[in-house]
Amino acid sequence: MKNQQKQWDVLVVGGGPAGMMAATRAADLGARVLLVEKNPKLGKKLLITGGGRCNVTNTKLDRQRFSEHFGDSSKFLFSSFSRFDAKDTLSFFHARNMPTKVETEGRVFPKSDQSQSVLDVLKASMRKSGVSTRCATTVEGLCVENERLVGIRVSGSKTPLLAKSIIIATGGTSRPDTGSTGEGFDWLASVGHTIVTPNLSLVPIRIEERWVRDLSGLSLKDISVSVFSDDKKHAEQFGKMIFTHFGVSGPAVLNVSGVAHNMHNDNKKTHIALDLFPNSDASSLDQALRDLFEKNQNKQVKNMLVDFVSPRLVSPLLELSLVNPDTPVHSLPREQRLTLIATMKHLPMSVSGFLGKDKAIVTRGGVPLSEVDCRFMQSRLHKNLYIIGDLLDIERPSGGYSLQLCWTTGWIAGTKAGEIN
């Protein structure tokens, strides 16, 4: 029999984190597994995650709390995380001699600070488990015979690759330069699946005001970022953010960007606002500022505020509060002091747009969860088809949650596909 006509037990399409985890798990259970990847090498997108450091997972190990971070998908994922959660992910990598470390907000990174360490573990695991791989292989679509899914069509071959089970792990549409161009959605639609149009979810935000761009490179922590439209707050996140040459980014910004994007797309005037002191109310801030001013009555307000906020924030705060920076603190009217505090608690920035899919961390959209059996990541339309990772219509925050979704769905699909072959 020619090699092209060989029937594999499990065929995985996509050499990202979800696909590699699925392939390893299925092969560990004795299945003959082939993983097909269109890029010349595996893990291209994985290498750039977390700024090249790879935020592997998050240490919020309580399954209920962990699943709640996935919003309206939490119920679907709770049983999944009960089978393979963040603790299992850490065990997987630690058992393969990759130490990890925990940083702020529970984010877990390889101790090496290199995404390559994660990729090396996954590739070594596949080799040890006996997974066959074919890179630089372009898949043209799924192959159906007599209403049954039997394999995939690949470019340059008249004969399809045949398999008893097929796991699709091609990713969404974020960072198309890494190969995530959304063709997996087209294949799934061709066999009857509904596709929710992918939309930007975790994406940096463009800001209209010039002063924001003047702060490029400044990062803030322990702040809150809120989304407002029609004077109503629609979302709020706490954590870190960074000013950029186009606007704002960072975990707290990314985690509200999906809401902001939806508002902006609905042609609603949208702004985000920073609370520089989310753990203090206006009254306590006023008292702290008065105490500071009392000890330095003859100093100019611009020189005193550097002890209160980041020095680079002083000028825009005073300008937005209509406070003369050269005013001695003993001459600063109460009304202006209160206005300054109000600005610290609500520092507004007008949303002018968003970076594109080429800069998005993830996109929301894909196969509706109603069309997937959450116990196995198995298609409800084709029992030998599995859909994992970013192909599922699941919204999630930044902070290791996207990769945990990949590890969990990959492991579960690999388990079911491996067991039945």
Which tokens in the block code for residue 186? 């087209």
pLDDT at 66: 86
Kindly provide the b/e burial profile for residues 300-316, where b requires at least 16 CB atoms within 10 angstroms of the residue's own CB: bbbebbeebeeeebbeb
Residue 182 pLDDT level (bands cut at 50, 70, 90):
confident
Residue 4 pLDDT level (bands cut at 50, 70, 90):
very low
Cβ distance 400 to 57 under 8 Å? yes
pLDDT at 2 over 70: no
Which tokens in the block code for residue 146? 């007599």
Q: What's the CA gap between 31 and 190, in Å, rounded?
A: 27
Residue 3 pLDDT level (bands cut at 50, 70, 90):
very low
β-pairing verdict for 247-249 and 232-243: antiparallel
pLDDT at 301: 94
Residue 13 pLDDT level (bands cut at 50, 70, 90):
very high
Domain 206-355 matching CATH 1.10.760.10: the answer reads no
Q: What's the CA gap between 42 and 50, in Å, rounded?
A: 17
- CATH assignment, 3-200+362-419: 3.50.50.60
Q: Give 328's strand partners.
A: 300
Tell me what the pLDDT averaged over the chain comes to: 92
Mean pLDDT of 263-292: 93
Which residues, at least 6 apart from 238, have a Cβ–Cβ distance to it below 8 Å?
222, 223, 224, 252, 278
Kindly provide the b/e burial profile for residues 318-338, where b requires at least 16 CB atoms within 10 angstroms of the residue's own CB: bebbebeeeebbeebeeebbe
Q: pLDDT, tens digit, for every residue of 270-284?
A: 999 999 999 999 999
Tell me if residue 202 falls in helix, strand or coil: strand
Mean pLDDT of 328-344: 95
Residue 421 pLDDT level (bands cut at 50, 70, 90):
low
Q: What's the CA gap between 346 and 405, in Å, rounded?
A: 34
Mean pLDDT of 20-38: 98
- Kindly list the domain boundaries of the chain, sorted by start residue: 3-200+362-419, 206-355
